[in-house]
Structure 1
Amino acid sequence: MFTGIVQERGEVVALDLAPDGADARVTVRGPLVTQDVQHGESIAVSGVCLTVVASHEDTFTADVMAETLLRTSAKEWAPGRAVNLERSVTPTTRLGGHVVQGHVDGIGTIVARVPHDGYDEFSISVGKDLARYIASKGAVAVDGISLTVIDVNDSPTGAVFTLGIIPETRTATTLGGAAVGSSVNIEVDVMAKYVERLLSFRDVEKA
């Protein structure tokens, strides 16, 4: 489990695809998160929870399953790409963001970025499969960053939601260099998914 508070902006060193292209192994540089990392620990890489299989000096290596390549921006990772890094929480960690699992639900697209005094306003488009979980003033993880939704505008094909990105977030994360048209990993609030699941069973029982 994570909090969505990025600890370090790292860099992809290598992405080695399997011969059939179904899965991959990624190596990431992150001097802070690798200081005492152990085999089998979890690190969120731009919101994707990965298990450390090896580490060396300031890098760690993890396997990336076919499902992860399909549903996230991991398929676009290449040497030199900046990524957000966060170690998993401990029982004494301050929960500064919200509960983030590192289980990406899908991909969004940055459709606008407007500078304001003290913050940048980002607009992100998602499909109908994710739109129903996005709520005004609710929580969402974008590339592993815990953020608060300002507003949501629905459409027949999905929704566009807005976020305010303060200077600290611009500096500490990959959103500082994100351009319009960029793909971002989206993880919706897990509570919304459980509520939907519980309500679906209520409807089945009534049928």
Structure 2
Amino acid sequence: MFTGIVEEVGEIVDVVTTEDAARLRVRGPLVTSDARPGDSISVNGVCLTVVDPETGEFGVDVMGETLRRSSLAGATAGTRVNLERAVAAGDRLGGHIVQGHVDGTATVAERVEHEQWTTVRFRVESGLTRYVVEKGSIAVDGVSLTVTEVDDDSFAVGLIPTTLRETTLGERTVGSTVNLEVDVVAKYVERLVGAHTAGTSQGK
């Protein structure tokens, strides 16, 4: 589990692809300072398992399902990524509960610069906005953010200078693709309510 509070911006240094998978090598001195094989690290919001950690770098295997659902399919050497280690028991939950299970991607549709912050609107084409609510939480490229506005196919967030400076979201321009993870509670509620509604209908 993660909190959506990015610890450092790392860089992909190597990509080896196969028919339906990829092996990435990621540079991240902070997150690898205590990394061991089998540990979980969030890479742009995707929970990946550490293999072959060494000084300042670690490897990860990315299966086809993850490549299809996330922006990691387009990762190349030099791609900058948000990194976060799994939260330890007793740590502060500074953001919100983030599983690292990306639900899909979105595209930056608009950026509006204000004096002390930036509004970014994301276009979503996969129907995920039904899980998004105003003032609710969402993870964008692994960053815990608060939704300021939502409609049928898009939502907006406000980014403060710290977020713009210390995550890759400051580099995202109109047309950029980002990973999304919606609030898992919303998905459970939908499934439970749907099952209850179906059961009630069958009982009539």
Q: Shorter-chain-normalised TM-score: which range?
A: over 0.9
After superposition, residues 1-207 of structure 1 pair within 5 angstroms as 1-18=1-18, 20=19, 22-154=20-152, 159-206=153-200, 207=202
Look up the SS of the partner of 2:131 in the other structure.
coil
Deviation at 1:129, TM superposition (A): 2.3
* Alpha-carbon separation, structure 2, partners of 1:27 and 1:38: 15
Deviation at 1:124, TM superposition (A): 0.3
Deviation at 1:160, TM superposition (A): 1.2
Deviation digits for residues 172-200 of structure 1 (CA, Å, limit 9, x no counterpart): 10011111000000000000000001001
In structure 2, the CA distance between the partners of 1:128 and 1:45, relative to structure 1 (3 Å rule), is: closer
- Percent identity between the aligned chains? 52
> TM-score if structure 1 supplies the norm length?
0.96
Look up the SS of the partner of 1:101 in the other structure.
coil
Amino acid at match of 1:174: T
> TM-score if structure 2 supplies the norm length?
0.97
Deviation at 1:127, TM superposition (A): 2.1
Deviation digits for residues 74-108 of structure 1 (CA, Å, limit 9, x no counterpart): 01110011000000001121100000000000000
Amino acid at match of 1:76: G
Amino acid at match of 1:189: D
Whether contact under 8 Å (2:108, 2:123) holds in the other structure is: yes
Look up the SS of the partner of 1:5 in the other structure.
coil
Unmatched tracts of structure 2, length 5 or more: none
* Alpha-carbon separation, structure 2, partners of 1:128 and 1:80: 28
Deviation digits for residues 120-176 of structure 1 (CA, Å, limit 9, x no counterpart): 00000112520100111100000000000001122xxxx111100000001110011
Unmatched tracts of structure 1, length 5 or more: none
Pairs aligned (count)? 201
Deviation at 1:203, TM superposition (A): 1.3
Deviation digits for residues 58-79 of structure 1 (CA, Å, limit 9, x no counterpart): 0000100000000000011100
Look up the SS of the partner of 1:74 in the other structure.
helix
How much is the aligned-residue C-alpha RMSD, in angstroms? 0.7
Deviation at 1:15, TM superposition (A): 1.2
